[in-house]
Each structure stands twice: as C-alpha cells, then as structure tokens.
A and B are shown apart, each in its own frame.
Chain A
Amino acid sequence: MFRFIVRRLLQLVPTLFGLSLLLFIWLHRLPGGPESAILGERGTPEMRAAIRRNLGLDEPILIQYGRFMKRLLQFDLGTSISTKREVTTEFLQRFPGTVELTAAAMLIAIGVGIPLGYLAARRRGTLLDHGSVAGSLIGICVPVFFLAYVLKAIFAVNLGWFPSSGRQDPRIDATRVTNFFVLDGLLTREWDASLNALWHLVLPGLALASIPLAIIVRITRASVLEVLGEDFVRTAQAKGLTGRVIRRRHVLRNAMLPVATSIGLLTGGLLSGAVLTETVFAFGGIGAFVADAISQRDYPVLQGFILIIALVYVLVNLLVDISYTFIDPRVRVR
C-alpha cells in the first residue's frame, strides 16, 4: 500500500516537471514579454532594458530556468504586478474563501445529487426520473456565470433574501483565526459571524454546485440502474433480505464506486467554476483574484495560480485513486 502511494507520487513528478517547464516557456513567450505587462505600451527602450536586466531576462535561458525552479521550490511565486504584494501571500489569504465555497458546492452536489439519482433509478420511468434526467441535462448546459447572475438578480437584488456579494458582512467585526470564516466563527464562538458567513455562501454555492449536481445525479442514476440489474442483487432478493439491507449493502455499496471516481474529476470543474462564480459575487477568494489578473494581464499571478491548481487537482485525483483501493476490494494491492 505504501509502495503504491509512493509509486503514484513518483509518477506525478514528470507531469509536474513538464508543466513547470511549459509554464516557464509560457511566461517568456508572452507577447512583449513580462516587461510589457509592467510598463504597458509606454516606456522607452532604455526603461524596457532596465526592467529586463532587473528581472534577469537578459541572462541565458538555462540560468533563468534554474532560478525559476529554485524560486518555485522555495514557494516563491513572484510578485503581483497589480497589487505589488507577493503572490504567495495573496493566495494564502484568499485560498480559504475558495475552499469554503468549493466545499459548500460539493456538499450540495453530493447531498442532493446522490439521493436524487438513487430515487430516479428506483422509480424509473416516473415523473421524478424523467424530471431528474431533464434537469441534469439542463444543468450542464447553463453557463455558470449566467446562473450566478440570475440567482443574484432574483434572490439577492430583487427579493433581498441573501446578500449579493462578499464573504461576510464587514459590520460584523469578526476575529480572524484561520481565514476560513465559517470555521473562525465557530472557533471564537462568534456564532453570528459563522452564520453570516454561511449565509453568504448560499447563492454562490448553489450556482457553483449546478454542474457537479447535474453530473452526480446522472452518474448515480446510471450506476444504480446498472447495479439493480446485476445477478448478486437477485441473489440478495432470493435470500429474502429486507429492502433496506439490499439497498445499503448490495446496491449502494456497488453503485457508489463510479460516483467516487468522478468526485475527483469534478473538483477540477469546481475550481474552474469558482473563478466565474466568485467574480459575479465579488467573493474574496482566489477565483475573483485570478479573474482580475486575467483582465489586467497580471502574469505572475496567473502563473502561480495555474501551478497551484495543477498541483491541487493532481493531488485530489491521487487521493481518489488511493481511496478507491479502500472502497473496492477487487482493486486492492496484495
């Protein structure tokens, strides 16, 4: 088991290495180079040359790459061109927000998706079934940012049930511990702070959850349908077992395998969607920050973001792979 994990981690290395190389090339092939990003169109040739020397851009490319890698390994991702602060600092400050949002969306997607998918499969051909299938198809086809806008327009601006932006009401002078606002409130016993943060998560969470929810409903439904037709379910029925036992031990335990796999893949989609959703709701997470970076061509931020996301995504999938060996005994390495 341990060897399996190590082997999988080692397989990551070439991928991440290749990615960092690509990133490096990317940064240096940018139209006009990084110095354009800083100076814009203005700037005399001397200024440009000065900046190039400053950033070490006139040294041999191998040395540049070496320096790049060295900084990477020290977690130095450079400095943001727009905020002038270290990229790493900016990320650390905003990452918890995105994590909270992503977690909320995932919870909604799983909490609603799996039961709905199961029911749709059990009541095949009924309105619930057809409705779920139709709903999930539509859910995949609606652009996330549009949905976010609609939700905001209806429930926040018009009805006023939910806040329309931010992670927390700034008037609640909440104490910061971990920067996970919901958690912080719980830790410092400032219940209203927690609740307020949760309330701010509802609309963006729903918008973000739309696609994973749709996908989980579909996969669960398909998986349950397939398992219901399996011989061992017939055996379980032949034994006269109760419906509850059959559902829990025989149907669900087998049907959840494909669902578990997709959760890893869905995380990637959530991270992408977070960029869009956070922008609409001015949610102070990494997503919104990156969206700004895109429009302002803040390349160090983009580069850092890409690297981090790649790492996170790859790690999450690795975790899913490993956990799969625990869930499915057939896969276990002996």
Chain B
Amino acid sequence: MALLDVDELAVTFARRGQRTVHAVDGVSFSVDAGEVTGLVGESGCGKSVTSLAIMGLLPAGKGVRVQGKAAFDGTDLLQLDPRAMRDVRGRDVAMIFQDPLSSLNPVVPIGVQVTEVLVRHRGMRGEAARLEAEHLLDRVGIPDPTRRLKEYPHQLSGGMRQRALIAMAVACQPRLLIADEPTTALDVTIQAQILELLKDLVRESGTALVMITHDLGVVAGMCDTINVLYGGRVVETARRRPLFAAPRHPYTVGLLGSIPRLDAGHGQRLRPIPGSVRDLLPWPDGCAFAPRCARQVDACLGTAPQLLREPDGHAFRCVNPPETDHTGEAAGE
C-alpha cells in the first residue's frame, strides 16, 4: 500500500463578488515509502495548494473548501480534527517551504526553533534537546553548529537557513517529507547542495519525499515518480525514465521541448509553449490545455479527457497523445 494516497483532491476558493477559483481540481497521486515523488508544473497549476491542503495548512476561512481524500498510512488526513492533525504535523509528516528567510521567526534564535520541535513531539527537554539540536544542525551540514544555535536567522546565509529548516523538518524522523520548491530562492550552486542533502536524508532514513517544483532539471536528478500538473489536475504520471524518454501528454512534451539544449545549433530559437497559463479552459468544458495545444482535435473540447493508465503504470490525460516510437522521440510535436 502506498504511504500517501491522494484521491481526487479538490480545493476551491470563493470570494464575495468574484468567481470561484478551482485551485486544485481533482488531483490524484500516490507516494510510496522511501521514494521520491515529484509534483511538477508552472506557477498557478495548484501544486503548492495541494501540499498545503494535505498538511491542513490552508488558511481557514469561509471561502475555502477542501474535498477528496488524502490517506496517510490509511488515515484520511483531511478528516482528522485539528488536534490530531497537529500531532501528525512535524512528527509523521513534515514540510519545508520556498523562502528560507521569511519561513524563519526573525526574533527567535535558530536553536530554539529547532528544539521546539523536539520538545513538542519527542518530549525532550533542556540539555538533551540542545545536544540533539546541535547534532541535527551538524547532520544537515551546518558548520560550527554550537555557535549557530544561538544565532538568529538574519545572521545565516540563505543556504544555511534552508538547511536549518530541513533540520527542523527531519528532527522527528517523519515518514513523509514535503518540499515545496526548496531551492527556488537559492543560488544555483547552493541548490545542488541542498538537493544532495535531501537525497542523502531520504536514502539514509527511508523517508518518502514529495518534491514540488517547476524545474524539470531538479526532477530529473531526484525523482523516482513524476506527476505533471496542469490547471489543477494531474495530466501525466510516470516513472522518471519513461517520462523523459517518451512523454505522453502534449504539455509534458512542450515542457521538455522548451528546455534550452547545449547541443542545439547556433542561432536555433527557443521553443516555448505558445500562449500563457491564463489561456486556461475550465476542465468541465474540455481539456484545459487545449487552447495552447498543437495537437488539439474536436474531441478535446466539450468533455474533459479521462486519465488513461497504461499497463506499465504510465498515465496520461489526453485523447490525442503524441505517438511514441519507443526510440525516445515523440513524433508529431
């Protein structure tokens, strides 16, 4: 059984006087223990909202509605009462966010921000907690951890801050770690280090990792399974190799095709996906990607395509998928 099984998760935001926003419109994917699963998509595709919904961190308000199921080890997280969910967070499921500086409390020392997790979930106190915090900082690669414990976030570099946040996340050895664009706000060289760190931790402790990103390069280097999101729905799910070798959704093809290549000829133009994320058809009216898709046919409009699952596990949501000849190239653009 999968560690995390998300089934038809939907999140809508309704505001007075404005149209309801379907941020997440029926997302389903699963995460196996010890594996790295990717959630890929452009900004606005709903990947962050999905993770926040799973964690129960969406702002509680009148206009926010969450539907569907998110089964963690059999328990539906979305049905848990707030108290129980608070116990799960930080202990069984942890999350790290995009901007390390704003994600840290500026007026509290780093050490306290680490030990508070230990105090809360592992019942540690005083010296024991401090030592463990030091050990954690060391584990995530922060030099001179003893001194860092007393320092404040603004005294650390961007990379170190993210490491500290990772330390806080893994402090209780959660079985699932969700990383929402953890490297987007960092320098490229630091990015690589952080990703290596995450890979290390995952391998060492068997934690499952959900990697949310828009960067296919990150995905290629880390993820075992990849889910591509568009318009609030999963449009393609595949293991790493098949996805990059033979993508079955035109959006994925477009994403892969838009990556600048070192071996491209001199003067060769970049190939972006035409249109923009605003050219979105609501799913009930047809395939959301249709307005931007070169492979659009009549069947694409009117009803939303269903998710087709092939025997090897590769799934895609398209009625006119690019044909593959299994030599690694998708024909017909």
Contacts and interface: CB of A to CB of B under 8 A. Distances in A.
B105 A232 contact: yes
A224 B165 CA distance: 24
Interface string B157-179: 00000000100100000000000
Nearest to B108: A249
Contact of B57 (A237, A250, A253): A237
B103 A231 contact: yes
Sorting the interface of chain B by its residue count into under 10, 10 to 19, 20 to 34 or 35 or more gives 20 to 34
B4 interface: no
B95 interface: yes
Contact of B90 (A241, A249, A327): A241
B133 to A, nearest CB: 13
A245 B90 CA distance: 14
Interface in A228-279: 230-232, 234-242, 245, 249-250, 253-254, 257
B90 to A, nearest CB: 3
B99 A329 contact: no
Given A237-B57, A238-B55, A240-B117, 14 more contacts: A231-B99, A232-B103, A234-B57, A235-B165, A239-B117, A240-B87, A241-B86, A241-B120, A242-B120, A245-B116, A249-B108, A253-B105, A253-B107, A254-B105
Contact of A329 (B94, B95, B107, B116): B107
A58 interface: no
B120 A240 contact: yes
28 contacts: A232-B104, A234-B57, A234-B97, A235-B97, A237-B89, A238-B55, A238-B94, A239-B89, A239-B90, A239-B117, A239-B168, A240-B86, A240-B88, A240-B90, A240-B117, A240-B120, A240-B121, A241-B117, A241-B120, A245-B116, A245-B120, A249-B108, A250-B108, A253-B105, A328-B107, A329-B154, A330-B106, A330-B152
B116 A254 contact: no
B233 interface: no
Given A232-B104, A329-B106, A329-B152, A238 B90 contact: yes
Interface string B66-110: 000000000000000000001111110011010100111111100
A238 B108 contact: no
Contacts of A232: 102-106
A190 B94 CA distance: 60
Nearest to B165: A235
A233 B168 CA distance: 14
B89 A235 contact: no
A253 B108 CA distance: 9
A249 B103 CA distance: 14
A236 B105 contact: yes
Contact of B89 (A231, A238, A257): A238
Contacts of B99: 231
Given A234-B57, A240-B89, A249 B116 contact: yes
Contacts of B105: 232, 235-236, 249-250, 253-254
Contacts of B152: 329-330
A122 to B, nearest CB: 12
Interface centre among A240, A245, A328, A330 (most CB of B within 10 A): A240
A128 to B, nearest CB: 17
A262 B305 CA distance: 59
Contacts of B116: 239, 241, 245, 249
Interface in A57-91: none
B108 A231 contact: no
A129 to B, nearest CB: 14
A230 B121 CA distance: 23
B124 to A, nearest CB: 14
Interface centre among A234, A238, A249, A328 (most CB of B within 10 A): A238
| Chain A to chain B: the 9 pairs with minimum beta-carbon distance, closest first | A240-B90, A240-B89, A231-B102, A239-B90, A232-B105, A238-B95, A329-B152, A231-B103, A235-B103
Contacts of A230: 102
A29 to B, nearest CB: 50
A329 B104 CA distance: 13
A328 B154 CA distance: 11
A231 B87 CA distance: 20
